Amino acid sequence: MKKIIVPVDFSQHSEFALETAAVLARRNNAELVVLHMLELSNAMATKEGNEVQAQTIFFLKLAEKKFKEFLDKDYLQGIKITPLVKHFKVFNEVSEVAKEYDVDLIVMGSRGTSGFKEVFIGSNTEKVVRYSNIPVLVVKHNPILTDFETVVFACDFSEDAIKPYHQALKMFEKMDAKVHLLYVNLPNQQFRSSVEMEARVANFLKKADGNLDKLNQVTYVSDYSVEKGIINFSSVVGADLIATLTRGKKGLAHFIDGSISESIVNHSTLPVMTFKI
């Protein structure tokens, strides 16, 4: 992990994300790209000439001042930081900035800012989770524990999950984390018998790993929703982190679609990391 991007809106929750990212950056000798998205109002955008130029400069200077104050933290000492102020909409542009700077991970707080809403927009976490092509780590609290020793990785064990599965396990291996692979069975049209579930998982592991060595790391739970199954199981095993798949703009999936991953992000008290299929 060489670079981590942190979209901030100067709120307490974005500070939680910044501190979490700082811990990860220090542990991995990584650089932080701290991004503030400045969206000027539509009314301002329709103005012409010197007036709009003057107002744009004013708001940029105001953002830079707040940015400088926001980054004046003891826990950032000794970490290489690249601060960026962009005039973009967060959910459309974070992935592009991440690609431009060759970033490995996005770390975000789960709530936006209060106050200055006309200028300092909040990071729209749900949409970043949905659209990002790189892993997104969402945190809600002060980073008391960031070792992530126990991870629950919820998977539908479909063939298109192989690539993000490899990506996730590689990341968690570097964290030296114990990974619980989880399949959630539902009491509706997605229901599968024990034999069907085990066959699905075995077929997946053969294609993904070339063997069945991780078969004993897979747990099957039944619940009324995927979200409840993941959160309840994570509580039982004392997980530090939940990892899920998201299919982004590809529409509904038969197991984990964008809405489910976003719902987990919204309702879990644990940090959540998402990987795009």
- Is position 53 within any domain? yes
- The answer to whether position 254 is within a domain reads yes
Of the residues 139, 167, 190, the one at which a domain ends: 139
Whether residues 8 and 135 share a domain: the answer is yes
- When the pLDDT of each residue in the chain is averaged and rounded to a whole number, the result is 84
Q: Which of 81, 113, 139 is the last residue of a domain?
A: 139
Alpha-carbon span 204 to 171, nearest angstrom: 20
* pLDDT at 122 (0 to 100): 35
CA proximity to 271, closest of 239, 237, 225: 239
**Are 132 and 155 in the same domain?**
no
pTM, two decimals, is: 0.85
Residue 38 lies in a domain: yes
Residues 124, 161, single domain; the answer is: no
115 class by beta-carbon count within 10 Å (0-12 exposed, 13-18 middle, 19+ buried): exposed
Statement to judge: residues 135 and 155 lie in one domain:
no
| CA distance linking residue 112 with residue 14, whole number of Å | 8
102: in domain: yes
Residues 121 and 157 in one domain: no
Query: Taking 90 as the threshold, does the pLDDT of residue 124 lie above it?
Result: no
pLDDT tens digits along 12-26: 888 999 999 999 999
- In the block, which residue shows the tokens 């994570």? 234
Give the pLDDT score at 48: 60
Together in a domain, 133 and 7: yes
- Whether residue 66 lies inside any domain: the answer is yes
The H-or-E segment that residue 204 falls in is helix 194-209
pLDDT at residue 50, rounded to an integer: 65
- Strand order, beta sheet including 272-276: 81-86, 31-37, 3-7, 105-109, 136-139, 272-276, 241-246, 150-154, 178-185, 218-222
**Domain final residue pick, 115, 139, 163:** 139
CB atoms within 10 A of CB 86: 17
Tell me what the mean pLDDT of segment 109-121 comes to.
45
CA pair distance 106, 186, nearest whole angstrom: 31
More confident residue, 5 or 190: 5
The percent of residues in the chain predicted with pLDDT above 90, rounded, is: 54
Task: Look up the domain containing 47 and give its range.
Answer: 3-139
Residues 18 and 96 in one domain: yes
Verify that 49 and 113 share a domain, yes or no: yes
Window from 135-144, 191-200, 203-212, 253-262 with minimum mean pLDDT: 253-262
pLDDT confidence bin for 58, thresholds 50/70/90: confident
Residue 51: per-residue pLDDT: 65
Q: Is residue 185 part of a domain?
A: yes
Rounded-to-integer distance, Cα 177 and Cα 243, Å:
12
176: left (phi over 0), alpha (psi -120 to 50) or beta: left
18 occurs within a structural domain: yes
Asked if pLDDT for residue 97 goes beyond 80, the answer is yes
Same domain as 15, residue 101: yes
Residue 213: which region, alpha, beta or left (left: phi > 0; alpha: psi -120 to 50)?
alpha
Same domain, 59 and 157: no
SS3 176: coil
pLDDT at 123 over 60: no
Output 53 or 76, whichever has higher pLDDT: 76
Which pLDDT value is given to residue 120?
33
Taking residues 70-84, what's their average pLDDT?
93
Nearest alpha-carbon partner for 198 in 244, 157, 232: 157
Q: What is the 8-class DSSP label of residue 249?
A: G
Q: How many CA atoms within 13 Å lie on the side-chain side of 110? A: 18
Task: Give the C-alpha separation, 254 to 192, whole Å.
Answer: 12
One domain for residues 86 and 22:
yes
**Among 62, 65, 76, which residue's Cα sits nearest to residue 17?**
76
Q: How far apart are CA 51 and CA 44, in angstroms?
A: 9
Question: pLDDT tens across 166-221, in order?
Answer: 999 999 998 899 999 999 999 987 899 999 999 999 999 999 999 999 999 999 99
Position 43 in a domain = yes
- Is the per-residue pLDDT at 115 higher than 80? no
User: Which CATH number covers residue 105?
Assistant: 3.40.50.620
- Domain total for the chain? 2
Q: Is the pLDDT of residue 55 over 90?
A: no
pLDDT score for 140: 86
| pLDDT surpassing 70 at residue 255 | no
- The yes-or-no verdict on residue 126 having pLDDT over 70 is yes
Are 163 and 267 in a shared domain? Answer: yes
